[in-house]
């Protein structure tokens, strides 16, 4: 029996209405006490809030089988349909359950090792994610490798039965609270661009890894610089073949546009509702120009949802819809942040309390400035669409 066999979960109802009832009841019974105190908290710009409590919440979700909902059953998931996963996301937002803490592990790394990893890697890493007690971060970007990711300079070399890693990553979200990092490193000396890269699974708790927090404009510190100085990981913790890391790294990015996009949009719906409430509170709801802006945001949200559904129903290699989707939602969310500030007018510039505590709306506004950068900047998405879709010259 492997570690995965022991994680077989009870069946889900096949009827979507029954499934919705099950989810709603479970959330009603469990979002209580300390968890209820964090209702609607921990989202963009608010990531530091109640982190320890949210970690406990993740374990409660894991014990009840709500992590890995859409993973195949043989890997310890529940094999939920896309519709059920959307229902889960909708009910989760409706219950205002605390924001999750391991998006990178559950939604990005896990499907990648299911596709490219060895059975031993699946047995070693999937249970920790399913239980909610092993968090992951993403070691892709470097000071000179962001949009131009193929310029990765972090090095990895084999020393006996271990990889030795040297280099610097940057903007590593949640590295300071992660147990593991998936690192793209150059393992073939002298190799260029996409060649000679390797995708490694590296433990964070070791002398060779130093994490330096970066204080953000929101006041929080969600991301970090991560330094690897003779950091080590076991020789068998390479996903895919050594030198073939680009393929694995790109496959992982493909999962970013999966079901988690729809869950994110359910969150956007809630933020749009709050924006409408804000317009009411600030006496702007009858202003015809403001009404048009709110209606445009509402329409944009629906376009986004249909595009995401179209993108997910398309099979095969991710097409241009991935770039359309990123460009659209990043811009939409940034504009929503600006709309919130416009509604609040001059009072939007004043902190909530000393020593300069920001309101949730202010934090959201500041965080949304990054939406058009991470996951591929707007300019890069436009390049992809221009060159690969419209056939324009480079």
Ligand X SMILES: Cc1cc2nc3c(=O)[nH]c(=O)nc-3n(C[C@H](O)[C@H](O)[C@H](O)COP(=O)(O)OP(=O)(O)OC[C@H]3O[C@@H](n4cnc5c(N)ncnc54)[C@H](O)[C@@H]3O)c2cc1C
Length of the chain: 394
User: Any contact of residue 387 with ligand X (CB under 6 A)?
Assistant: no
307 binds ligand X (CB under 6 A): no
Please state, in angstroms and as integers, the Cα–Cα distance from residue 195 to each residue in 145, 185, 255, following that order: 15, 11, 22
Interaction between residue 323 and ligand X (CB under 6 A): no
CA distance 26 to 32: 11
Q: Which is nearer to ligand X, 257 or 284 (CB)?
A: 257
**Of these, 140, 182, 228, 246, which contacts ligand X (CB under 6 A)?**
140
Q: In the 8-state DSSP scheme, what is residue 98?
A: P
Residue closer to ligand X by CB (options 311, 377) is: 377
Per-residue b or e along 190-229, where b marks 16 or more CB atoms closer than 10 Å to that residue's CB: eeeeeebbbbbbbbbeeebbebeeeebebbbebbbbbbbe
Contact between 348 and 229 under an 8 Å Cβ cutoff? The reply is no
Does 35 engage in binding with ligand X (CB under 6 A)? no
Residue number with the shortest CB distance to ligand X? 146
Least CB distance to ligand X at residue 371 (A):
8
By the rule CB under 6 A, 146 interacts with ligand X: yes
Residue 134 CB, nearest approach to ligand X (Å): 16
Give backbone dihedrals phi and psi of 233, rounded to 5 degrees, phi first.
-145, 160
Of the two residues 143 and 351, which places its CB atom closer to ligand X in the complex? 143
Please provide the distance, in angstroms rounded to a whole number, between the alpha carbons at the two ends of the chain: 54
Show the site string, 67-106: x = touches ligand X by CB under 6 A, - = not: ----------------------------------------
Token pair belonging to 247: 């393929």
Q: Minimum CB separation from ligand X for residue 177, in Å?
A: 12
DSSP lists the bridge partners of residue 168 as 227
**Helix, strand, coil percentages for the chain (3-state, nearest 5):** 50, 15, 35
Q: How far is the CB of 380 from ligand X (least distance, A)?
A: 5
C-beta of 75 vs 223, nearer to ligand X: 223
Q: What pairing do the DSSP bridges indicate for beta strands 223-234 and 136-139?
A: unpaired
d(C-alpha 46, C-alpha 216), whole Å: 11
Nearer to ligand X, 21 or 379 (CB): 379
CB 258 within 8 A of CB 85: no
Least distance to ligand X, CB of residue 96, Å: 23
From the list 147, 192, 229, 299, which residue makes contact with ligand X (rule: CB under 6 A)? 147
Place of tokens 């970007």: 141
What is the rounded CA–CA span in Å between residue 58 and residue 67?
8
The answer to whether residue 256 is catalytic is yes
Q: Would you count residue 243 as binding ligand X (CB under 6 A)?
A: no
* 171 scored as a contact of ligand X (CB under 6 A): yes
User: Could you say which residues in the range 215-234 bind ligand X, by CB under 6 A?
Assistant: 223
Number of residues that bind ligand X (CB under 6 A): 17
134, 256, 271, 361: the active-site residue: 256
- Mark residue 183 as left, alpha or beta (left: phi above 0; alpha: psi -120 to 50; beta: remaining): beta
Comparing CB distances to ligand X, the nearer of 79 and 146 is 146
Distance CA 162, CA 202 (A): 11
Q: How far is the CB of 367 from ligand X (least distance, A)?
A: 7
Closest CB 89 distance from ligand X, rounded Å: 21
Pull the structure tokens for residue 163: 């990889």
Binding mask 348-377 for ligand X (x = CB under 6 A): ----------------------x--xx--x
Where along the sequence are the contacts to ligand X (CB under 6 A)? 137-138, 140-141, 146-147, 171-173, 223, 370, 373-374, 377, 379-380, 383
Give the active site residues. Answer: 256
């Amino acid at each position: 029996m492997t570690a995965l066999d022991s994680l077989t979960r009870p069946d889900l109802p096949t009827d979507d209405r029954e499934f919705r009832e099950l989810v709603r009841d479970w959330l009603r019974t469990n979002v209580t006490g300390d968890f209820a105190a964090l209702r609607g908290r921990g989202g963009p710009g608010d990531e530091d809030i109640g982190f320890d409590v949210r970690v406990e919440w993740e374990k409660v979700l894991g014990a009840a089988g709500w992590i890995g909902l859409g993973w195949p059953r043989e890997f310890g998931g529940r094999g939920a349909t896309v519709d059920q996963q959307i229902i889960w996301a909708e009910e989760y937002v409706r219950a205002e359950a605390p924001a999750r803490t391991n998006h990178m592990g559950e939604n990005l790394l896990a499907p990648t090792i299911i596709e490219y990893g060895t059975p031993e890697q699946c047995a070693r890493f999937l249970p920790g994610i399913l239980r909610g007690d092993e968090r992951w971060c993403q070691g892709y970007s470097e000071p000179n490798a962001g949009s131009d990711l193929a310029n990765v300079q972090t090095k990895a070399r084999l020393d006996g039965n271990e990889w030795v890693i040297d280099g610097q990553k940057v903007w590593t979200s949640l590295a300071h609270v992660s147990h593991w990092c998936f690192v793209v490193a150059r393992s073939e000396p002298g190799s260029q661009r996409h060649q000679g890269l390797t995708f490694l699974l590296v433990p964070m708790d070791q002398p060779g890894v130093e994490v330096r927090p970066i204080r953000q404009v929101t006041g929080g510190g969600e991301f970090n610089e991560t330094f690897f100085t003779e950091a080590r990981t076991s020789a068998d913790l390479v996903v895919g073949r050594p030198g073939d890391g680009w393929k694995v790294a790109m496959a992982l990015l493909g999962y970013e546009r999966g079901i988690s996009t729809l869950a994110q949009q359910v969150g956007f719906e809630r933020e749009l509702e709050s924006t409408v409430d804000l317009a009411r509170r600030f006496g702007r709801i009858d202003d015809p120009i403001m009404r048009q802006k709110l209606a445009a945001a509402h329409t944009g949200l629906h376009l986004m949802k249909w595009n995401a559904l179209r993108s997910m129903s398309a099979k095969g290699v991710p097409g241009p819809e991935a770039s359309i989707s990123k460009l659209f939602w990043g811009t939409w969310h940034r504009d929503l942040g600006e709309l919130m500030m416009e509604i609040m007018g001059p009072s939007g510039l004043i902190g909530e309390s000393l020593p300069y505590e920001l309101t949730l709306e202010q934090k959201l506004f500041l965080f949304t400035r990054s939406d058009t950068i991470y996951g591929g900047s707007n300019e890069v998405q436009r390049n992809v669409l221009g060159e690969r879709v419209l056939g324009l010259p480079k």
